[in-house]
A and B are shown apart, each in its own frame.
Chain A
Amino acid sequence: MEIAEELAKQQKAISVAEFFEKNRQILGFDSAPRALITCVKEAVDNSLDACEDAGILPDIFVQIKKSGDYYQVIVEDNGPGIVPQEIPRVFAKLLYGSRFHTLRQSRGQQGIGISAAVLYSQLTSGKPTRVISKIAPDRPAHYCELLINTAKNEPEILRSEEADWERPRGTRVELEMEGTYVRSRRQSVFGSLKSAAIVNPHARITLVEPEGNMEVFERATESLPKKAYAISPHPAGIELGELIKLLRYTDKKKLRVFLRETFSSIGAISAQELCSRSGIDPETPPAGLTHEQAKRLHAAFKAIKVKSPPVDCLSPIGEELIKAGLEKEYRLDYIATTVRPVSVYSGNPFLVEVGLGYGGELEKESRVEILRFANRVPLVYQQGACAMTHAVEGVSWKNYSLSQPTGSGIPVGPVVLLVHIASTNIPFTSESKDAVADMPEILAEIDLGLKEVARKLRRYLGRQSVLSERREKEEIIRKILPRIAKKLSDVLERKEPDIGPVVARIMGNLHVSRKVEREDGRLSVKILLENHSDLVRSFNLHELLAEKADSISPEAKVIPIGDGYDHHWKLSLPPGQKATLSYRIAWRDESNGDAPPAGAKMKEPVVEGLDPEIVTGARVI
């Protein structure tokens, strides 16, 4: 026998299940703590997806119990349930699922996650997975015990029977496996559920930990996220191979129809344009296109302008709920959010949402925390390999009032960043779905989103520093200056100096002061105005006097009101300028000869048309 023939005997197909049995790290079961996290995450993702499809507000119960040498993971939901005949394949057959062939945003896609958990459970503990599910209150629940036949990638059913269950509907799965339970770190069951709660504020998630303490991540909203609809592929960025595959397997008889029906955002006009650009008869059967023709058609896709893919295939969290989610799990001083418009990479629509939380109880001196989410699923591992992290590192945060010690990289400061990518197909770097690949279109969108929230943060911090400067000045003016003035008068035994002009100068205010002197039995009044700000101040100055004044300079309008006269000047003072108003008025000696302090009976001058806090020495209306 020839060597080749000898070798050929050993060639045989490998079952997917066998493949993953040997390569469990690909699915995220590479370490003991991680196995528990991945298992919980897969089960919770399934529950959230199912509830969303059914329009039910998710109420998910997670319990981790120590059971001998193993951990028992229980995840129970109030979802629509699974029909009895589907249960074995959903849980005990890899690559079985409802979502792989549709273009629609969902958490799970390939139908690997939960069956991988089942596989890991049977590999490490040897025990079957127990599932109970009920599809309606008036129908009995169904109970199964399952294993995976790894050689065939088919479910092995150990028990299957009707059962009693107190829930009206829902699904409960119990797995037993090797693992290690960690708490209080970000990379933990607790941390991963906390993150899930942030981006799924419509869900209530309850966790019972091995020691028995219970954590409830309460829902922040009663409204379900917008439902995502399935769409056709978008022409932008589609690859040639993909196009050829679509052409070959279509049931459409004419190219023009194929184009219109297969792709989203292509109507009769675009279809016509594509055909004429590539020089192919619109009536040609698509399956008959040569490789050369397909290539020209592919080039035409790139040349024409089509509208963005429809948004309904995606279900963003929305600014409101990002804010609610962050507020729910962190104490923050400020939150900025943004939702980017839908964009496309390789024919897949996606959109990026970014949230930024600042201050509160966040660490000031440590690196910024990055919460990564893909289709509402928190990404816990491999932060350094992820496009979201790379985009954060690429922003020059110093321009946005955050320190970035090495000039690039993750910034330092009391900030938590939330990045969510929603897409019909998230380009993960591996099947364990830990990190998103660096697609240029995605990186660019995250970058824009980050810069948008960063600009909002900078504006907020700018306002804060103006406020704190103002507060500092107020402290000087209210607490310190009056005391200096008092002490000076103590030391010098003179009357307290008027701090008004200094206050006006420090605050950059308009300062109004009035000097009154007796002159030939009349009062000579001077009003000094000084603008200490760096802006032009335009305002009206009113003097309410008991009688008409004379020798008014400059000219004032005099209007009788009530039992007196309003004298008013319309003024405009450039920065740093002074002005003097003067007039004379009769002095009515009511106190019988004793010289009263001049001006004692005069009301304060009134300024009209400016903020009270930028004026000293006058009443402001």
Chain B
Amino acid sequence: MTASDDKMDKARKAQEKLTGLAATLYNQFEQGIVPHISLPSRTKANIEFSSKDDVWIYGDQETTRSVKTVRGAKTLLKTVHLAELLIKEHLKNNRGSTLREIYYISENWDIAKFHEQAESDRLIEDLEIVTALHREDFHVRPEEDGAAVFGPLRLKEKTRRGEKEMHCQEDVGEAGYQIPFNVDNIEFLSHDAKMVMAIETGGMYARLIENGFDEQNNAILVHIKGQPARSTRRIIKRLNTELGLPVVVFTDGDPWSYRIFASIAYGAIKSAHLSEHLVTPAARFLGVQPSDIVDYNLSTDKLTDQDMQALRSELTDPRFATPYWDKQIRLQMDLKRKAEQQAFAGKGLDYVTKTYLPERLAEMGIL
């Protein structure tokens, strides 16, 4: 089967699923059943650990969207509009739109118009859940850039202008290789890496490249740019499972950064339906740990009320219910301080690559 056949097949499958959803609603009308769709409820209370894949997925709690209320009826109307757009514009014509474009397209839908992009984003996630497909299968892409990758890795990318091969140290600029939104268009060819390090801030990513950390330690560096996009999480997952590389996550030492780690290693509450596809259960948290603040005597900022709130909420988050996180979070609540990755610069520009990272990686048994 050729690549384009494969693509056609996928499109046909997506089309069938969406048409199937419409047919379900159609039949409900014909049978005199109040039209509705059921979805797992997407809250913290309804995620559970799947021991099969070591990831967090949605539990059994369901919410029903039915036409019995104006809100439910409007949501179903929007769902049908969206299904029509995806079938007729996207899949039949092999076109695609971004999430934001879809929000704007709905301007012409009269009462079915989305009020904000969050609403159309959510509805697309709903369609992913109902059809058990990914938004890429509907040719829907995000606005946000995927991650950048820098390290001893050779790969091949299928683009609209043919296949391109490149090495992620030799063939790229200082910023690294920009991964496409659909990571499954990439094929890994060869590598010389011992680990993958996902880094939260651009400053630290650039620092490690400048200090030659990737070469010295055979590390593939992934710049995750804040809350990681799906493509970022997908590439980390693939690097881990396909190349068998250990993954460590290096972020700031504050509650929001722990959530970045959680979405890589455990899955996000909003997209728990994709956990099996996106989550890297083997990923480990490198730092900055609250205990590092004490051990390395880092310069810190005071925790704000929102920070404290976030820490408290993490204590009740099932994803953080491990002895390690319990200890670290409670320690931070005692310290009432947080530290940035850049705090190591206070001890010299080489301190992080010469001292902190080697020590931490040795402790974790990776170096």
Name A's B-contacting residues (CB within 8 A): 472, 475-476, 479-481, 483-485, 487-492, 494, 497-499, 501-502, 504-506, 511, 530
B residues near A487, Cβ cutoff 8 Å: 77, 80-81, 84
Binary interface encoding of chain B residues 1-42 relative to chain A, with 1 for a CB under 8 A from any of its CBs, else 0 = 000000000000000001100110110111111110000000
Which chain B residue lies CB-closest to A499?
B29
A490 in contact with B84 (CB, 8 Å): yes
How far does the Cβ of A618 sit from chain B's closest Cβ, in whole Å? 16
How far does the Cβ of B214 sit from chain A's closest Cβ, in whole Å? 50
A479 CA to B84 CA in the complex, in Å?
Answer: 19
B70 in contact with A472 (CB, 8 Å): yes
A480 in contact with B77 (CB, 8 Å): yes
How far does the Cβ of A288 sit from chain B's closest Cβ, in whole Å? 83
User: With A476-B67, A476-B70, A491-B22 as given contacts, are A502 and B29 in contact (CB-CB < 8 Å)?
Assistant: yes
A residues near B87, Cβ cutoff 8 Å: 491
Binary interface encoding of chain B residues 87-112 relative to chain A, with 1 for a CB under 8 A from any of its CBs, else 0 = 11000000000000000000000011
A484 CA to B315 CA in the complex, in Å?
Answer: 44
B76 contacts chain A at the CB level, 8 A cutoff: yes
Which chain B residue lies CB-closest to A530?
B32
- Contact size class for B? 20 to 34
B111 in contact with A497 (CB, 8 Å): no
B22 in contact with A480 (CB, 8 Å): no
Indicate which residue in A483, A489, A499, A506 contacts B77 across the interface (CB closer than 8 Å): A483
Which chain B residue lies CB-closest to A505?
B34
A501 in contact with B22 (CB, 8 Å): no
A501 CA to B112 CA in the complex, in Å?
Answer: 23
Interface centre among B26, B32, B34, B112 (most CB of A within 10 A): B32
A506 in contact with B84 (CB, 8 Å): no
Name B's A-contacting residues (CB within 8 A): 18-19, 22-23, 25-26, 28-35, 67-70, 73-74, 76-77, 80-81, 83-84, 87-88, 111-112
How far does the Cβ of B41 sit from chain A's closest Cβ, in whole Å? 23
Supplied contacts A484-B77, A502-B67, 8 more A-B pairs, CB within 8 Å: A475-B70, A476-B73, A479-B111, A488-B80, A491-B18, A491-B83, A502-B33, A506-B68
Which chain A residue lies CB-closest to B88?
A491
Which chain B residue lies CB-closest to A504?
B32
A480 in contact with B111 (CB, 8 Å): yes
A residues near B111, Cβ cutoff 8 Å: 479-480, 483
A residues near B32, Cβ cutoff 8 Å: 501-502, 504-505, 511, 530
Q: What are 12 A-to-B residue pairs whose CB atoms are below 8 Å?
A: A476-B68, A476-B73, A479-B111, A480-B67, A480-B70, A480-B77, A484-B77, A487-B81, A488-B29, A497-B30, A498-B30, A502-B32
How far does the Cβ of B150 sit from chain A's closest Cβ, in whole Å? 45
Which chain A residue lies CB-closest to B74?
A480
A491 CA to B19 CA in the complex, in Å?
Answer: 7
A481 CA to B69 CA in the complex, in Å?
Answer: 11
Which chain A residue lies CB-closest to B33?
A502
A398 CA to B83 CA in the complex, in Å?
Answer: 46
A residues near B25, Cβ cutoff 8 Å: 484, 488
A483 CA to B80 CA in the complex, in Å?
Answer: 10
B67 in contact with A484 (CB, 8 Å): yes
A499 CA to B33 CA in the complex, in Å?
Answer: 10
B residues near A489, Cβ cutoff 8 Å: 26
Interface centre among A484, A505, A530 (most CB of B within 10 A): A484
How far does the Cβ of A611 sit from chain B's closest Cβ, in whole Å? 21
10 tightest A-B CB contacts, nearest first = A501-B32, A497-B29, A480-B73, A487-B80, A491-B22, A476-B73, A488-B26, A491-B84, A484-B77, A497-B30
B residues near A484, Cβ cutoff 8 Å: 25, 35, 67, 73, 76-77, 80
A557 CA to B68 CA in the complex, in Å?
Answer: 39
How far does the Cβ of B256 sit from chain A's closest Cβ, in whole Å? 35
Which chain A residue lies CB-closest to B84?
A491
A488 CA to B29 CA in the complex, in Å?
Answer: 10
B80 in contact with A491 (CB, 8 Å): yes
Indicate which residue in B26, B68, B76, B81 contacts A497 across the interface (CB closer than 8 Å): B26
A344 CA to B32 CA in the complex, in Å?
Answer: 64
A residues near B88, Cβ cutoff 8 Å: 491
User: With A480-B70, A483-B112, A502-B67 as given contacts, are A492 and B23 in contact (CB-CB < 8 Å)?
Assistant: yes
